[in-house]
Chains A and B, each alone.
Chain A
Amino acid sequence: MRRPSNFAFSTYDSFINEVQDDASISWRKRKKHFFILSHSGKPIYSRYGDEHKLAGFSATLQAIISFVENGGDRVNLIRAGKHQVVFLVKGPIYLVCISCTEEPYMSLRGQLELLYNQMILILTRSVNRCFEKNAKFDMTPLLGGTDVVFSSLIHSFSWNPATFLHAYTCLPLAYAIRQSSGAILQDVADSGVLFAILMCKHKVISLVGAQKASLHPDDMLLLSNFVMSSESFRTSESFSPICLPRFNPMAFLYAYVHYLDGDTYLTLLTTSSDAFYHLKDCRIRVENVLLKSNVLGEVQRSMVDGGMRIEDLPDDRGSRSGAVSSHLGQPGHATYSSERFDEAFLGVGGPAGLWHFIYRSISLDQYVSSEFSSPINSRRQQKRLYRSYQKIYASMHEEGIGPHKTLFKRDDNYVLLCWVTPDFELYAVFDPLADKALAIKTCNRVCQWIKDVENEIFLLGASPFSWWTDPGNTPLPEFAEISL
């Protein structure tokens, strides 16, 4: 039998138990759930289960939001035992996340923001007008066929650092290769294209914006998620209205999308609704140049070779031509030697117990993370590591704390070392038994290494070196130590 979902609950259990019969599916067993509903309590999207079967639950959520709103307040978070219920109100659209994953509130809220903006990318914020005219408006038909876009985004919340770093990552490529693809994209952008983006999966090969137009990393994340999760883009070239929420949430742009090979796709964005044939010509020009300069071959090779491996961290400044050399940053090696990186390659961890790192350049809006290496081999370990980064990132970015922060944290699983400066942020993970002084020294080496290979791992702008603060001259400051 169905029991009513009562609004007045005292604990999370009663809250959840009251609605358990609302839907036959057992979404409550899931660790994390996302809902989108309208301000009248009508369901719009549900990660698990048929949103219509969850109509009672979505009414409950609206009642909670409205009840608090009536008191002139706003509900952001309900904590109940292990569970957090996070709310985000965006005009007539309400987004809710229920989670027992222990992710920080800031992270979950950020995920709801991305979910909302993914919806705006598909519909623009003009959809609000429908609610203004008619509060009963049912939005679900407008999102027909987009479930896969949302589920793929939600999945990326558990593996893609871009979702919390608000930065994008590049595919490692020889400088000359990236330059030549950048040059042809620039050429195209000068002919009236707003943005020209060449990506391989979620990694950027090159990216060019028309004068003054800049692309927000979140928009890139949402755009690439949309393109990759919509199968039809792979079938043939297409021309579709798309909104970039951080660029202009009110209006559509037009996106010409074309896959150059299985994973590599070119997206050309324009404001002009009749630019298709022009963009098609642009694509042919781009494709010809990429083929001639073997960019696509290099892209494939880079996908196989991977990026920075902690095992390859050079010994010390100046001695990187030694035996333990990296396939990245080798002077005289325009292309990488691939024999060392066969598919069976399994790392053994880096020096001084270094297991993994993420480096984010603030001025470039880009990040680079090392490849997973032993002992971070299994999906479970990778996910745990991801969550640790997410958590430490949130705590480093809590409001009211200035830049230039450092943190040294030791727990059962890792030693975490963070270094946040106005120019960059470094998050490094070590063996839980790693020596502190050695770990700090290793972080300096990582920074130096990144400087040495920056041409290959980042997409550098017109003044590629202006952003760089040499960590060699700025030794790491004292670390606050937190041991758990």
Chain B
Amino acid sequence: MPSRRRTLLKVIILGDSGVGKTSLMNQYVNKKFSNQYKATIGADFLTKEVQFEDRLFTLQIWDTAGQERFQSLGVAFYRGADCCVLVYDVNSMKSFENLNNWREEFLIQASPSDPENFPFVVLGNKVDIDGGNSRVVSEKKARAWCASKGNIPYFETSAKEGTNVEEAFQCIAKNALKSGEEEEIYLPDTLDVGASSQPRTSGCEC
């Protein structure tokens, strides 16, 4: 069979502790929700296959711990991300205000080649709580912030009820894919005729 390439996309989820990152991921991957809060230690990883425009993709989702003591996951952790998802809780102003820190932290650590156009997606979670009465961050405010950061796509979600979760991740996959379009071309070197052929090197590390 001709090569049917399946692309793997690395997606990093960031946001304050307790905003529902793990719940969103579980709702998306397993269609399950638990009211019990269990803090993520370090990071969790989940995968999900998605179909998009006739092609199959594997989303490799990196769910990070929001607590400060786990925050310094470092450069290596964010390396090669195809998309970054920023999550806040619409009932917590602090979690919204921290989005900026998370975004900057990511750009510093991951140092993507084109930071201006690196694909982020913002999710305002927990819109179901108290029928929306305890909400403190308005949709307008959130959208304004997203617009100011280069038109980041924005979704209001409820991990509990599954609202918009599928749509949000479809968008995440689409954006992650876009950022991966420019493929590196593999151009190996060849030894030229008469080039000095060193006798047995001991496999030095470059």
Contacts and interface: CB of A to CB of B under 8 A. Distances in A.
Interface stretch (A62-70, A387-395, A396-404, A462-470): A62-70
A8 B40 CA distance: 9
B189 interface: yes
Contacts of B203: 117, 245-246, 249
A43 B193 CA distance: 36
A56 B197 contact: no
Would you call the interface of chain A mostly helix, strand, loop, or mixed?
loop
Nearest to B187: A126
A250 B60 contact: no
B8 A59 contact: no
Given A7-B44, A136-B180, A246-B201, A271 B76 contact: no
Interface in A277-334: none
Nearest to A128: B206
B76 A126 contact: no
Interface stretch (A211-219, A226-234, A475-483): A211-219
A210 B79 CA distance: 44
A141 B52 CA distance: 19
A16 to B, nearest CB: 14
Interface in B14-61: 22, 25, 29-30, 32, 40-47, 49, 58, 60
Interface in A45-91: 52-53, 55-60, 62-63, 65-67, 69-70, 90-91
Interface in B171-195: 179-180, 182, 184, 186-195
Contacts of B190: 241, 251-254, 271, 273
B199 interface: yes
Contacts of B188: 123-124, 126-127, 241, 243, 251-252
Contact of A271 (B46, B79, B180, B197): B197
Nearest to B77: A66
B155 to A, nearest CB: 22
A52 B6 contact: yes
Contacts of A127: 186, 188
Contacts of B195: 271
Contact of B5 (A41, A91, A141): A141
Contacts of B89: none
A63 B193 CA distance: 44
A133 interface: yes
Contacts of B180: 136, 138
A29 interface: no
A125 interface: yes
A56 B47 contact: yes
Interface string A127-140: 11110011111101
Contacts of B187: 126, 129
A133 to B, nearest CB: 5
Contact of A142 (B6, B63, B77, B186): B186
A32 B184 CA distance: 33
Contacts of A69: 74, 76
A248 interface: yes
Interface residues of B, number: 58
Nearest to B76: A66
Nearest to B48: A2
Contacts of B32: 1
Contacts of A202: none
Most chain A Cβ neighbours within 10 Å, of B40, B193, B200 = B200
Given A7-B43, A39-B76, A63-B42, A214 B186 contact: no
A4 interface: yes
A63 B80 contact: no
Contacts of B73: 66-67, 70
A450 B81 CA distance: 58
Given A4-B44, A63-B43, A136 B74 contact: no
Contacts of A262: none
A53 B82 contact: no
B72 interface: yes
A9 B184 CA distance: 36
B148 interface: no
A216 B199 CA distance: 10
B48 to A, nearest CB: 8
A281 to B, nearest CB: 17
Given A69-B76, A133-B184, A271 B81 contact: no
Given A6-B41, A59-B60, A271 B82 contact: no
A271 B189 contact: no
Nearest to B57: A52
Given A52-B8, A67-B42, A213-B199, A130 B80 contact: no
A142 B81 CA distance: 20
A413 B202 CA distance: 37
Contact of B197 (A59, A123, A194): A194
A124 B43 CA distance: 34
A341 interface: no
B41 A7 contact: yes
B47 A272 contact: no
Contacts of A57: 45
Contact of A55 (B8, B182, B197, B198): B8
Given A40-B10, A55-B60, A63-B77, A2 B30 contact: yes
Contact of B10 (A4, A42, A123): A42
Given A39-B79, A126-B186, A56 B63 contact: no
A410 to B, nearest CB: 37
A52 B60 CA distance: 9
14 contacts: A8-B42, A40-B10, A63-B43, A66-B73, A67-B74, A124-B188, A124-B189, A133-B184, A136-B82, A136-B180, A137-B184, A142-B186, A248-B197, A271-B195
Given A63-B45, A254-B190, 13 more contacts: A6-B42, A7-B44, A39-B76, A39-B79, A52-B6, A66-B76, A67-B73, A91-B205, A130-B184, A216-B200, A247-B197, A247-B201, A248-B197
The 7 closest A-B pairs by CB, nearest first: A40-B80, A66-B76, A4-B44, A135-B80, A7-B42, A59-B45, A8-B41
